[in-house]
Structure 1
Amino acid sequence: MLTSFTGKDRLQTRLQARNITPFNSGVTGTNMTRLGYDGSLNDNNNVTLQKLEYRFPLTQQAVIYLSATGGEFNDNMFNFNPGFDASGSGAISRFGRFNPIYRESAEGTGATLAYNFSKALALSLGYMTRPNVANNPAAQFGLYDGSYAALAQLSFRPSDVINLGLTYVHSYYNAAGGVQVSGTTGSAFANQPFGNIATSANHYGVQANLRFSPSISLSGWAGYTTAIAEESIPTTVARGNSAKIWNWAATLGLSDFGSKGSLLGFVFGMPPKVTDNDISAREDNDTSYHLEAFYRFKMTENIAITPGVFVIFNPEHNSNNDTTYVGAIRTTFSF
C-alpha cells in the first residue's frame, strides 16, 4: 500500500504471506537454485509486515529513504538490470535479478540517501542493519557488534542508451545473525568462506545497462569481494584469514516480445565463487555457470504469467555434481 501526505513523499507498507520453499541446501544441495521470490521454511502462509518505508525529498536534488523493516538497497537506487530486478515480474532465479552486492542490505533497518548532481550523475549512500533472527537479540542492530552493511554507489546515466555504475559495500556479519557474504546466491563457501563465524567483507561492483532500442536491453555486472575472518577457531581458522570471491553475469531483455508489456529474458553468468582462500580446503576448485530463460506474458493489464527455466552447470562449483534444472511458472496479479 502506498500513501502520500504531501504529494511528494511516499509511505510504503507491504503485508506478505507466502509458503514458497527455498530451493537451497535442504532441497537441491545448493543456494544457486534459489528462486527470485522464495521465502523461508518458517513462512507457513503467516501474514507479516514485510516492508515499512518512508521516502521524502530533502532538497530538489536529494531524496531520503527511511526503512523500519524490509529495507533493500536494490529498491532505493538504480540496480542496472531493468526488467529483471523485480521479484514479481523479473527473473525467475534469485541470482538473475541483479548483482548480489545489493543483497548485503538483507531486508534490514536503516536509511538511504540518493543525491542527483545532475540528470546524468547521481550518488547513493546507504546503511542497513540486519533484521532480528529467531528473536535473538545478538542478531540485531549494527551499531556496535551486530551485522550491518554500508553502501556507496556512483551512477552515470547520460541517456536512456547507456547507464554505468560503480558500487562499494562494506559489510559485517556476526554468527548469531548468520553469515551470508554473497547474499545466498553462490556456493556454500562463497557465503561462509570461514564457516559461520564473525566475518567482514568489502564488496566491489561494476554494472552497465545498454538499450539499443526501446525493445532491446543488454545488462551486465562483475562483482569482487574480499572477506576477512574476525574470529578464530583453534587449528581451523585464524583471525585475519582472507578469501577472494568473484561473480559476473550478462542479461538480455526483449520488451514487448509477442505482445505489448511482455518480456523475453535471458541470463548467463557465474554465481559467486571463492577463487582464493587462506583456508585452501574452502576454495571452489571448478566453475558453475547459470543459464536462464523466461517469458513474462502480459495477459491483461492486471495479470501476467511467467514460465521460466534455469540450468546450473557444475553446481557448487564442483564438476562432479550433476547439472541441475529448475522450472517454474509465476502468475502475477496487479491491482
Structure 2
Amino acid sequence: MNQTLIKYCFAIFSTVGICLPSHAETINNGLLEQVNNYSDTSFSSELHQETNVNQLRDVLPTDWAYEALRSLVERYGCIQGYPDNSFRGNSALSRYEFAAGLNACLQQIERLIAQSETLLREDLEKLQRLMQEFAAELASLDGKIDNLEGRVAFLEDHQFSTTTKLLGAAVFAVNDVWGGDGNSNQTVLQDRVTLNLVSSFSGKDLLLLNLSAGNVPVSNNGGSFELPGTDVGGVSVSTAEGTLSSQFAANTNNSVKLLFSSYQFPISDRLNFIVNNGFGVFHTFAPTLNPYFDDLDGGRGAISTFAQRNPIYSIGGGTGVGANYQLAEQFLLTASYMAGGASASDPDEGEGLFNGNYSALGQLTWQASEQFSVATIYSNSYATPGTAGINYNSLLVSGTAVANTLAGQVRLGTDDLFKQQPVIANSYGGQFSWQPTPKFALGGWFTAVFPRLIGRGDGEVLTYALTFAFPDLGREGNLLGFVVGAEPYLTSFEGGDPQAFEVDVPLHLEAFYRHQINQNISITPGFVWLTAPNQDNDNPDSVIATLRTTFQF
C-alpha cells in the first residue's frame, strides 16, 4: 500500500465528534497492520530461475545459508528469485511461493532422473534420513495446517464483510484548568467514541464511513474551557487556545452520527484522487510532517489540537475533492478544494459548493531523506459573515479570541450583527520534520494568515511552534513530547473598526507522556500552560491538565 493510502487509512482510526478531524504516523500499530494487510498488493507472484547464486543481489557469502543456496542453485538449478534479482531470505514465505520453489526442485530432479544423469548419492541419503527424522514433525505440521484451514474457512463464513473492516476507538479524559479564570471551570470527564467502516473493492481504493459520538458541550470556543475572551456585540467569545485533541469536534451529546464519508482511488501510479463528503479535513491526505504528535486526534498523539499540526490545515474543510501527485521520487504535490461542510448541501442563495464557505489548499512536500522532510503550503479561503477565524467548519480549534474575531469585528455563528462582512484570507505556511536518531524527532512550523474583512480592512495573524518527541522512552510504544509555540494571534489590523487589543505573544507550552499499557490501551497525562491567554499579558496564566485513556479495537 502506498504512503498516501496508508496515511489516509489513519483517518478512519481517529476519534471525532461532530466531524472527522496522515505525513502522519500510526495511531495504532496493530490497527495499521490490519489495514495494511487488508489491502496490500505490493507482492509479486512472478519468479524466475537463477543460474548463479551471485545473481541474487541480497545474498552475501557471509550469510549463514549461503552455501546451501549455492548448492541448490549451481548443483540442481532449482532456486527462483524475484524479478528485481532479490531472494528476500528474511521475508515470510507464502504457501504459493513455497509450492513454486518445491515444484521447481522436484521438476529438476525428475528431469535429471529421466535423463539418467547421476544424482549425488549422499544427497539422496541425506534426504531420506531427514524425512525419517522429521516424520513426526511433518505429520504434526500437516495437522496444524488442516486445523488452520478449518479455522480460516469458519472465519470466512462468519466474517463481517468480504470488503469491509469494522474498526473503533474510544477516548476518555479527565480535564481541569488552574490559574486565572480557571477557578470558574469544573473538573470534567469527557468522552469521544468512533466506529469506522473501512472498505476496499480493488485493494487499491478506500471507502471510509465514520460513526461517532461524544459528550463535549458546545461553547463559544468549540468545546474547550471558558478562558479570557473578547466581547463582540455583548457576547463573550472565549479564546480557543488549549483546545484538547480529545475535545475536538466531540460535541454530539453522545448521539451517534454518520459524520464523514470519503472515497480514495488511484488514477495512475503517480496520482491518487480523493472525494470527501460531509466534514472532511485537509490533514487526512496532506502530509503534516509531525509524525509523533499528529494522530488525527485519535487519542495517542499530542494532547492539544494546536500541537498536533500546523493550524493552516484547520482553515476550512468540508465537502470537495483532493489529489496527491508524485512529481518525483522525493516530491509530492497535494491540491484540494472543499466547500464548507454545512453550506455544501444548502441550495439557498450564497451557499452550495461554489457560493458559500470554501477553502483551497496546495502543498509541495520534499522528502529529502527518511530522516528529513520539509513542505510549503498555500491556502485561499472565503468565510461568509460570522464564520471567520482559524476554525474547522465554523468550529474554533485554536487561536486567540482576538484573532478569531478580528478584534471584535466578527461575531461567530450568528447573523444579527450589523458589522458582519465576509472574510477572504490568503495563508502561507512552512513546516519540517527531522529525526536524527530513532529516539528523538524535531519538528516545527510557521504560518502567516492575511485575512481581509471585505470592504473594511486587512489584518495579519501569525502562528509558529517547535515540537520535540522522544519515542519509545521507557518501553516500546511510549512517547514523551514537548511543544513550545504561539497559537494564532492577531498582530495588526488596518482599517475597519477593531476593538483595542494587545499584541503580546500567547505562548503555548505543552508536555505529555503516553504510557502504552498494551497494543490497544494507553494512558496519557499532560498539561498545557498558556502564558498570555487571548494575547494579553495582563490576563493571568492558565494551566490546562488532562489524564487521557485511549482504547482502540
Q: What is the TM-score of this pair, normalised by structure 1?
A: 0.91
RMSD: 2.0
Aligned equivalent of 2:477: 261
Match of 1:66 among 272, 275, 281: 275
What is the distance in 1 between the residues matched to 2:428 and 2:249? 28
Give the aligned length: 323
Task: Give identity over the alignment, percent.
Answer: 31
Aligned equivalent of 2:304: 93
The residue correspondences of 1:177-256 to structure 2 (distance < 5 A) are: 178-181=387-390, 184=396, 185-193=398-406, 194-196=409-411, 197-230=421-454, 239-256=455-472
Amino acid at match of 1:112: G
| Inter-CA distance 139–101: structure 2 relative to 1 (3 Å threshold) | farther
Q: Which runs of 5+ in 1 are unaligned?
A: 231-238
Amino acid at match of 1:97: Q
Aligned equivalent of 1:292: 510
| Inter-CA distance 174–142: structure 2 relative to 1 (3 Å threshold) | farther
Partner SS state of residue 403, structure 2: helix
What is the distance in 1 between the residues matched to 2:480 and 2:219? 23
Aligned equivalent of 1:51: 260
What is the distance in 2 between the residues matched to 1:274 and 1:198? 18
Q: Which runs of 5+ in 2 are unaligned?
A: 1-196, 228-237, 412-420
Deviates more, 1:260-269 or 1:278-287: 278-287
1:319 and 2:518 correspond: no
What is the distance in 1 between the residues matched to 2:551 and 2:337? 32
What is the distance in 2 between the residues matched to 1:76 and 1:96? 18
How far the C-alpha of 1:97 sits from its partner, in A, is: 0.9
What is the distance in 2 between the residues matched to 1:43 and 1:251? 31
Aligned equivalent of 2:549: 331
Match of 2:330 among 112, 120, 138: 120
| Inter-CA distance 79–22: structure 2 relative to 1 (3 Å threshold) | farther
CA contact (8 A) 2:217 2:253 kept: no
CA contact (8 A) 1:22 1:40 kept: no
Aligned equivalent of 1:236: none
CA contact (8 A) 1:204 1:224 kept: yes
How far the C-alpha of 1:259 sits from its partner, in A, is: 1.1
Amino acid at match of 1:9: D
Amino acid at match of 2:442: L
Deviates more, 1:258-267 or 1:21-30: 21-30
| Inter-CA distance 8–41: structure 2 relative to 1 (3 Å threshold) | closer
How far the C-alpha of 1:33 sits from its partner, in A, is: 2.2
| Inter-CA distance 283–167: structure 2 relative to 1 (3 Å threshold) | farther
**Alignment deviations for residues 153-191 of structure 1 (CA, whole Å, 9 cap, x no partner):** 000002111100000000000026x22245531111211
What is the distance in 1 between the residues matched to 2:246 and 2:211? 15
Larger strand percent: 1
Q: What is the TM-score of this pair, normalised by structure 2?
A: 0.56
Larger helix percent: 2
Aligned equivalent of 2:203: 7
Amino acid at match of 2:403: A
1:141 and 2:352 correspond: yes
How far the C-alpha of 1:37 sits from its partner, in A, is: 2.8
CA contact (8 A) 1:141 1:148 kept: no
Match of 1:80 among 289, 296, 304: 289
**Greater RCO, CA 8 A, separation 6+:** 2
Instruction: Give the structure with higher Rg (CA).
Output: 2
| Inter-CA distance 22–212: structure 2 relative to 1 (3 Å threshold) | farther
